Amino acid sequence: MRRVALVWLIADSLLCWAGWASDKPPAPIHDSAQAEQTLDSLPSYILGPDDQIMIRGIDLEEIGDKPIAVGTDGYISLPLLGRLKAAGMTVAQLETELKKQLVKYLHNPQLSVTISEFRSQPVSVIGSVKNPGIVQLQGRKTLVEVLSMAGGLLPDAGPQAKITRQGVKGSIPLKNCVWDPTQRYYIAEVNVKSIIKGLNPENNILILPNDIVSVPKADVIYVMGDVKKAGGFILNESETLSVLQVISLAEGFERTAALKSARILRGEPGTPSRTEIPVNLKDILAGKAPNLPLQSDDILFVPSSFVKSLGMRTVLSAAQLATYAAIYAH
C-alpha cells in the first residue's frame, strides 16, 4: 500500500511540474468562484520605465527630495551609488537593494521608497469614448475607472466592451473569456452599461497594464421619409426593434405618408447594395400583417404621396444619400 501511495504521489508531482513548465497559457477561467478578482489577488506594483519615485531617509541629503525618474533603460542614477536597475522591481525590493548598497557608506541605513507618478502601465482605450488613446493606470483601476479616465462613453456607444489581454498575464475573470485564434491573447466581452447602472458590479473587473479596452458603436436602425422624427435609433441592449417600435421612436407619421408603400432597405453583406422589402404599414397597424423585426443598419423608408409618384428608384437613391448623411453626422 505504501508503494502504491508513493507511485501516485510521484505521478501527481510530475503532472503538476508538466503543467507549470508548459509555455502554453492556462485555459480561461469560467467558474465564477475562481474568476473572482480582488485587489489583494494581484501582485504588487512593478516599477517600469518612466515611473517616478521618491527616496527618503536618514542621512541621505545627497539624494535630495526631488522625484527620480526611471529611465527608458530601466535604470535610476543616484549620488554615491551611481546607476541602479529599478525596472522589474517592486518598491519593497528596491528598498532592500538600496539598503544593501548603502551599507558601504552608512551603518544600518534607514530609507523608504514611494512612487510619485505611475507612467509605465499603459492601457489602450479605443472606440466610442470621448478621449480614445492610452491612459496610465497609476495604480489599480477597474474597467469603469479606466473608461472614466478616457472621458467616458459617447452617446452612440454600444453596451458591450471588449477586453484583450496578453496570455502571459493570465485569463480575464469573466465567464465568456476565450483565447484568440493564435492563443497569445485572452478576449472577453462585458456589458459595461449594466455595470454603470449597478446591475452587475461583479463584472467591474480590474484592468491590467497593456490591456486593450474597445467600445464599439451601438447598432443603429434608421427611419427616413414622411415621419415626424427621422434619424437613427440605437439598439442598445436590444438585438432588434420591430417596425412599430421604430415608428413609435420616430413619433409617428405625417398626414401625407403613403403607408401602403413603405420599404425596408436592407444591406447585402459584402456589397454596397440594399434589398427592398415591401412593408404595408396600414395592414401592420390594423393587425392584418406581421410586425416585422428590423436588423442593425436597416432603413425603414416611409414615402409621401408626392415621393411615391417619382418612382422607387429615385426614392432609393434619396434614402441612401440621407443614410450616409445620418451616419457621418454621428
d(CA 115, CA 301): 59
User: What is the structure's pLDDT at 9?
Assistant: 41
310: Cα within 13 Å, side-chain hemisphere:
12
- Cα angle vertex 209, ends 157, 18, to 5°? 120
Per-residue pLDDT reduced to its tens digit, 232-243: 988 876 667 899
CB 298 within 8 A of CB 276: no
d(CA 118, CA 51): 5
Task: Provide the pLDDT confidence category of residue 34 given band limits of 50, 70 and 90.
Answer: very low
Q: Which of 154, 115, 122 is nearest to 136 (CA)?
A: 122
d(CA 118, CA 4): 54
Domain 52-117: CATH superfamily, name plus number: wza like domain (3.30.1950.10)
pLDDT exceeds cutoff 50 at 281: yes
User: What is the structure's pLDDT at 22?
Assistant: 43
**CATH code given to domain 220-329:** 3.10.560.10
User: In CATH terms, are 122-215 and 220-329 the same topology?
Assistant: yes
CB 94 within 8 A of CB 100: no
Higher-scoring residue by pLDDT: 317, 239: 239
Per-residue pLDDT reduced to its tens digit, 106-127: 888 999 999 888 878 899 999 9
What 3-state class would DSSP assign to 106?
Answer: coil
**What's at 63, amino acid-wise?**
I
Per-residue pLDDT reduced to its tens digit, 135-179: 988 778 999 999 999 999 998 898 899 999 999 999 999 999 999
Domain ranges of the chain: 52-117, 122-215, 220-329
Residue 171 CB neighbour total at 10 angstroms: 20
For residue 17 the three cell numbers come to 511540474
What 3-state class would DSSP assign to 110?
Answer: coil
User: What is the structure's pLDDT at 27?
Assistant: 56
Residue 213 CB neighbour total at 10 angstroms: 23
In sequence order, the β-bridge partners of residue 277 are: 264
pTM for the full predicted model: 0.62
User: What is the structure's pLDDT at 323?
Assistant: 53
Tell me the fold of 122-215: Outer membrane lipoprotein wza fold like (3.10.560)
